[in-house]
Structure 1
Amino acid sequence: MLWSGVVVLLVSWVLQPVASVHSEDTLPEQTSVENADASDTLPELKTLDGHFPFDVPETLQQWESRAEKLRTRVAMATGLHPMLPRPPIEATIHSVVERDGFQIEKVYFESLPGHFVTGLLFRPAGENAERGLNAAGKRPAVLCPHGHGGRMMRNDAETMERLIANGDEMHLESGSHPKLARCATLARMGCVTFIFDMVGYADSVQLSYEFAHRRHATREEESVPAGSDPELFFSTPADARLQSILGLQTYNALRSFDFLASLDEVDPERLAVTGGSGGGTQTILLDALEPRIAASFPNGMVSTSMQGGCACENACLLRIGTGNVELAALMAPKPMGMTAADDWTIEMMSDGYPELKQLYSMMNQPENVLCESLVQFKHNYNYVTRRIMYGWMNEHLDLGLETPIVEIDFPAITDEEGAVWDEGHPAPTERGPKHEQSVLSWWNGESGQLLEDCLGQSATAKGFDQKIRPALATLFDLPMPETSGVSVKYSAPVEHDSGAMVVSGVVIDEARRREIPIRKWVAKSDSETSSAGTAIWIHSAAGESTDTPEWSDAFAAQLDRFNTIVVIDIAEMPTDADEGKQRTNPQPRRASAAFTYGYNRPLASTRCADVLAVVSAFQNPPGGVSLVAPEGSAAYALAAAAIAGPFLEDAVIDVSGFRFANLLHQDDEDFVPGMVKYGDVDALAAWRAPYALTIRDSGGKNWATTKAIYQARDASDQVRCQASQ
């Protein structure tokens, strides 16, 4: 054979050092790949019922870097990166309802044009009117997201008797409205308190409760291309732009906070938030997004276990690689309290709270985090929990009241007293799908304006780096691994009909426990056109039966050019999805892509990481490494080329008309939530600037963002746009 210089050494179960792969442009020594592919058994998709531990970084600097990325993730997942406009609130406040020591007023305002937020405003009154005031005559304010059940949730007499007997509640009347009871007591303590309606509850009538919180099936009209106008929630266009019920609800919560903070009597230095269950989820997100919050009590959802079972608590991207405990930690070092109960928070005292305590101690504020064990009670925000919260707010809002603070009974709020809409204040008439279209059209337009300096011909390097680059890094959030974290195993080489030698193997990404099938080709040694470089060639087409399905005239030409080609056989990676699709979580009553992509990376992100692992394994050969991505791999090859940056001499990507905007469904193998919002393939190509890139495309697209960013980085000569071959 021509390969007398290649010594084949059989060493079973020994990982060949990666350095030896780089040493020469001949075939590597053989190591066994028998039973090596652990990825034949796919890991289960993560669900909201998984385990979400909080691994505290070793240093404060590491945490601060991590926290910045997490805040970007939360903002993106809620559709609020960049933040939507938050102009001054113009609220209508009407119809005072009086009780002993406090009063209630009814409130509504537009959080965005045509979409109304409703709720009840509680203020101190009577003998409590002077409580909470500082030297400037201002008082603290507490926002109360209510959680499932609604702000007007009322326990019947039989339930109340049981709750009182169990020690959950204290008063038959006021305790029957537990969510209003906390607002009333906070007002009696001297706090202005606002409890607003979650989407679909009480007076939030424009989108129904069943739609927002009890969604069972996908509507036929949701299955439209991702590039279509984002007409409906849960549709492909909406998920491609990260527009969700959770996002709308979070924006409503932020606007409710803006309303409360804008009141003349409110002290801007003493603003707090507390909610339970679904309201606890909203509190966690508000703490991450709103820096003015001075104290917080997210109850019933800070847990390493179940993360929130409703569509209003889940969004694409939100909990990939993280969970509620770590997201709650974004409040640190500011005061944050909670309790553990006989529910999914039951392990918090040993799994979650110690880690929060460790982080707060690292910040020299260990006293600013509290978790009380109330595991004798089921899931709740009951009287016992509320009493702990009152003490927490008393301490951290500087109320100076004697403790313990005990609730005082009051006559229950009637439905009429709690209703915001009446004859003088009629409810909005735009509802249902038409209202969805209005909300999403406004959302899309505002986001487009906010990204105007980042995308297209007017894109600037500053705008791109501030808004698009962090977004893309979040969508494809697995960086290129260190060479020490990858290794290669090979089988015996064989001679191809062309005279080239081929050896099969796997690249092992140890951090991900992932094995990527490869074939290394080495051309005849007498090739006169060889550049002695190495090309990494992505083979993504499935269905061929030959041992070397990548072989074609185009491949042969590249082999003559580079002498060595490492083929990544993406098509051979195992999957349990139908051809052309990616796996999704089949969870009953949860017809939302968020229950898959809120916990699991999209397939394109995983494939991008596979490419990066191979690039890492074959770094620094003579002549450098180039990436060649034929048609069918643009969704992840463009991102891999960008992340690899200077580790690639060149990247040649055949886009061939592919656009994320043309995808018809969220389970398409190339679907990446948010990718349409953040510039599609044009932005991914721009992300690689200033390094060499050749784009092959069809359809006459001008790649405006790519050209603008390459020009802004003085690298216009490094990008080439060609017609697909």
Structure 2
Amino acid sequence: MSSSPLSRICIALLFLSTSIATLPADKPANTEPVIEPARTAVHQVLKPDESLPDARIKQPRHTRDKFHPWTPPTDLESWLAERQKLKTQVAVSNGLWPMPPQEPLNPTIHGKINRGDYTIEKVYFESHPGHYVSGNLYRPVHYSGRIPGILCPHGHWQDGRFYKAPEEKAMGQLANGAEKHLSGAYYPVQARMAQLARLGCVVFHYDMVGYADSQQVGHGGWFQNVDAELRLQNGMGLQTFNSIRSLDFLLSLPEVDPDRIGVTGSSGGGTQTFMLCALDERPDVAFPAVMVSTGMQGGCVCENASYLRQDINNVAIAALFAPKPLAMSGANDWTIEIETKGLPELKTIYSLYGKEQWVAAQAWPEFQHNYNSVAREAMYSWMIEYLDLDADIPLIEEDFWPVPPEELSVFDDDHPLPANAKTGAELAAYMTEYSQTQWDAMVNHPGQIYAEYQRVMEGAVPVLLGESLSAINTVEADLKATTLNDSQIGELQLKKGLLKREANGAAIPYIYLQGENFNGEVVLWMADACKQHLFTEQGDLREPVRQTLKNGYAIAACDLFLSAESLQGKSFAEQWQVDESFPGYTFCFNKPLLTHRVQDILTTIRFLQQSDAVKKIHLKADGNAAVASLLANGRMNITDKLGQLKLDLGQFDFSKVTSSLDPAFLPGALKYGGLFHLGLMQAPFESITLYGVGFGGESYSEFSPKYTSWLRSPVTRRATINMNTDSSNLAEQIWE
């Protein structure tokens, strides 16, 4: 087919919304302080008009980009490690880590329609309690033993499962060879189901959210808001879970062979095909049509989710199905180059298993975006070969007797939508409730439940916050040394320049001060005012800094990503752009600002650890820098040289974040325990002192006993931890 009017509108609105989102605007929700240091200041690293060589300062990736590359591993051991990492990333992004409870489906099957050699029935069941998946079940009339089952998600066809092509379009499909029969020209979606049933398969064709009979939640979804993002509730995750439950339903049928399961869909249905096959080990054969590519990655909110495609693309997600048989079709759309961009990468992965012949792709550039009879016949041949169907290859699609769309509807007077059906708001509330129940079970109970907590957090935290401290191998430094004369201390050693990390392209403006009485201990002093907080407006050392240096400590500071010099002379609003209509469009491909800043702190700590002259490292911060510092603590899985951690968190809690433009916005933060679980997964310092603690409604006395029950890292749990709800003026305190 060519793209439906609805899908074209979906993509057009996406492009419009993202264009609007990139216009500079003064947004009150953006709480980042404006830091505009003088170019001649002592803390300044860059020369006037000098650009910061930070590879992260660039136009954000977006689904509309023409090229999304991915380089696959070239040895099996590396791939298997990467595969597990990517499967976890996909699950986390979909809000399916851990997997939601799989309650009874309570299916209803009714209204059988007989078409001679196959039948069609109407089905609805509960994927979540009160959320109904609807569809049609096609079964062959004559069969023996157990037979293959095939799931068919439909994609963005106008009216979805009920699609009927307008007469002009149907005639055009016949004229250009896209369709062989008038029935298929008018009803290309039904044609696929009918032929697969005739081949001896049980076929379940189910609705995408907001299409056909699935009207409880609109296709745009209930989940395009900040609270949903903080809990990783999204339309893609809901549809993917519906696909998993649809597979549960299909496998519950006694005639279905669990060892012969296929999945095929086109466009958005192609997305659901490879998403399901990436997360669920039960499918055996897959054919995602006109979706897998290095081009546009999916234009609808149902195809994007925060963290999903960071550092990868749809080709990488499709590769997670390896080494099972996978074939794809392309057309004169974003998949037109699948044979030369996408298929070679997949063949690289399949060759690692010795199964290169089990992956294939073909594009038909003479046709626009479609799942026409030409592509369907390629799919039938693939299913015949790998599901061991009794038919000749190639198979020519037969004519069939379509069912009028109104007769396919699953709800009628005798079978109304059940009274317990949930609205979008009610479903979101239920998802929050079950997620909290799962969390409480992991956190509040000892024994085996803790192992589940550890598994969940060890999978989720790297997705949200990036690499651990031990994974940062080498930090390069381009520093210039000079002296600074202070009226009270005398001569100080001053080093400033850039810390560079090749893995993420970071270039971090950095400053280091050391007196002649250096005791081998360094205080990494972080603040929202960045490096310049060490100095007065006149360029003198602030008194707490001076006294700390007099006590023998060196002091280091840096500009975190998109602050001070990292802003490149622009405003924060100009440099940090988020699609507020649906933040998942932005964070599907790009890391949150807070993640970058966490990594900058880890990079700086790692640099100091590499110095032979440094014997101990202390970390001190307030404001947003304290939030990033505590989260960085959660990724410090080695104790080397770490001393004291002192932070003033200013009563911060992720539940207070109300805008995706907030520098502290972190998708998934509330799902995984908020600041304290994410930030105290590790306790590598000798002591941790936290001021301005906010517990999201919990009192300190309620929270403190829980801490010892869930922090059990044998490597890094050594800190003495003190928490105070009152703030402390850390910026004015001398380190002693």
TM-score by length of 2: 0.84
In the alignment, does 2:552 pair up with 1:536? no
- Alignment-derived partner of residue 10 in structure 1: none
Q: State the shift of 1:384 in Å.
A: 0.5
Shift of 1:639: 2.6
1:417-436, aligned counterparts within 5 Å? 417-428=407-418, 435-436=423-424
One-letter amino acid of the structure 1 residue matched with residue 462 of structure 2: A
Structure 1 residue runs without a partner (length 5+):
1-29, 213-231
Query: 1:114: Cα distance to partner?
Result: 1.2
1:649 to 642, 648, 673: 642
2 CA distance for matches of 1:354 and 1:565? 51
| Partner amino acid, structure 2, of 1:441 | A
2:348 is paired with a residue whose SS is: helix
Given the superposition, is the C-alpha separation of residues 580 and 53 from structure 1 closer, same or farther in structure 2, using an over 3 Å criterion?
closer
Cα distance in 1 for residues equivalent to 2:715 and 2:680: 13
Q: In terms of mean alpha carbon deviation, does 458-467 or 266-275 score higher?
A: 458-467
Q: What is residue 168 of structure 2 aligned with on the other side?
A: 158
Shift of 1:457: 7.5
The 2-side partners of 1:345 and 1:208 are apart by 28
**Are 2:456 and 1:467 aligned?**
yes
Task: Measure, in 1, the Cα distance between the counterparts of 2:304 and 2:716.
Answer: 41
Matches within 5 A, 1:442-591: 442-455=430-443, 461-480=450-469, 482-490=472-480, 492-499=482-489, 500-523=492-515, 525-526=516-517, 531-541=519-529, 546=536, 552-561=542-551, 563-570=553-560, 571-575=563-567, 583-586=576-579, 591=581
- Pair 1:660–1:558, CA change in 2 (3 A): farther
Q: Would the aligned equivalents of 1:72 and 1:81 in 2 still touch at CA under 8 Å?
A: yes
Aligned amino acid, residue 182 of structure 2: L
Between Structure 1 and Structure 2, how many residues are aligned?
659
Q: Which deviates further from its counterpart, 304-313 or 443-452?
A: 443-452
Q: Distance in 2 between matches of 1:109 and 1:559?
A: 68
Q: Which residue of 2 aligns with 1:115?
A: 131
Contact 1:391 1:405 in 2 (8 A): yes
Match of 1:718 in 2: 719
Alignment partner of 1:643: what SS?
coil
Aligned residue number for residue 687 of structure 1: 681
Deviation, 1:322, is 1.0
Identify which range, 171-180 or 297-306, moves more after superposition.
171-180
1:662 is aligned to 656
Out of 46, 49, 54, the position equivalent to 2:64 is 49
2:168, 2:647 → 1: CA distance? Answer: 68
1:225 corresponds in structure 2 to: none
1:652-700 Cα deviation digits (max 9, x unpaired): 3332311112111122101110011101111123211355341312355
Q: 1:562 to 1:53 in 2, by over 3 A?
A: farther
Letter paired with 1:608: V
User: What residue identity is the alignment partner of 1:314?
Assistant: N
Structure 1 residue 54, shift from structure 2 partner: 2.3
Deviations along 1:542-594, one digit per CA (max 9) or x if unpaired, are: 797957989545444543455211111233143498659982344xxx82010
Aligned to 1:82: 98
- The 2-side partners of 1:151 and 1:32 are apart by 59
Match of 1:311 among 301, 305, 317: 301
| Counterpart residue number, 1:707 | 708
Distance 1:453 1:555 in 2: 46
The 5 Å alignment of 1:100-499 reads 100-125=116-141, 129-130=142-143, 133=144, 137-149=145-157, 150-209=160-219, 211-212=220-221, 232-428=222-418, 435-455=423-443, 461-480=450-469, 482-490=472-480, 492-499=482-489
> Residue 86 of structure 2 is aligned with which of 70, 87, 93?
70
Matched, 1:626 2:618: yes
Q: 1:560 to 1:445 in 2, by over 3 A?
A: farther
Whether contact under 8 Å (2:55, 2:505) holds in the other structure is no
Superposed CA offset, 1:266-307 (max 9, x none): 001111111100001111110111111111111111111101
Gaps of at least 5 residues in structure 2 are: 1-43, 694-698, 729-736
The one-letter amino acid paired with 1:539 is: A
Alpha-carbon distance, 1:455 to partner = 3.3
**In structure 2, do the counterparts of structure 1 residues 722 and 323 end up closer, same or farther at CA, with 3 Å as the change threshold?**
same
Using the TM superposition, give the Cα deviation of residue 636 of structure 1 relative to its aligned residue in structure 2, in angstroms: 2.0
Residue 581 and residue 256 in structure 1: after superposition, are their counterparts in 2 closer, same or farther (change >3 A)? farther
Q: Which of the numbers 593, 597, 614 marks the counterpart of 2:604?
A: 614
Contact 1:496 1:502 (C-alpha < 8 Å) held by counterparts:
no
Q: Counterpart of 2:149 in 1: which secondary structure?
A: strand
Determine the C-alpha separation between the residues in 2 that align with 1:145 and 1:362.
30
Alpha-carbon deviations, 1:161-201, whole Å to 9, x = none? 11111111111123311111111100000000001110111
CA distance in 1 between partners of 2:551 and 2:675 (Å)? 28
Q: Check if 1:672 corresponds to 2:666.
A: yes
2:199–2:390 CA contact under 8 A, matched in 1:
no
CA distance change for structure 1 residues 389 and 458 in 2, over 3 Å: closer, same or farther?
A: same
Give the distance between the partners of 2:174 and 2:488, measured in 1 at CA: 84
Change (3 A) 1:420 1:114: same
* Aligned-residue RMSD, C-alpha: 2.8
- Aligned residue for 1:399, secondary structure, equals coil
Matched-pair identity in %: 33
2:320 partner SS: helix
Q: Does 1:636 align with 2:644?
A: no
Amino acid at match of 2:153: P
Task: Determine if contact 1:686/1:709 at 8 Å carries over to the other structure.
Answer: no
Distance 1:722 1:79, change over 3 A: closer
3-state SS of 2:287 partner: strand
Q: 1:200 to 1:482 in 2, by over 3 A?
A: closer
Deviations 1:225-251 (A, max 9, x none): xxxxxxx52221111000011111111
The amino acid that maps onto 1:144 is C
SS in 2 for 1:634: helix
**Secondary structure of 1:465's match?**
helix
SS at 2:634 equivalent: helix
AA of the residue aligned to 1:653: L
Give the SS at the match of 1:408.
Answer: coil
Structure 1 distance, partners of 2:663, 2:651, is 16
**Whole-Å Cα distance in 2 between the matches of residues 667 and 550 of structure 1?**
34
* Structure 1 pair 421–476 and aligned structure 2 pair: CA distance change class (3 A): same
Instruction: Name the CA distance, whole Å, in 1 between partners of 2:149 and 2:189.
Output: 16
Query: Distance in 2 between the 1:687 and 1:325 partners?
Result: 33
Shift of 1:716: 6.6
C-alpha distance after superposition, 1:369-425 (max 9, x if no partner): 111132222111111000000011111111131122122112322022211111101
Report if aligned partners of 2:683, 2:718 keep a CA contact under 8 Å in 1: no
SS in 2 for 1:720: strand
Q: Distance in 1 between matches of 2:172 and 2:105?
A: 42
Paired residue type of 1:313: E
SS in structure 2 at match of 1:144: strand
Deviation at 1:474, TM superposition (A): 0.9
Contact 2:529 2:564 in 1 (8 A): no
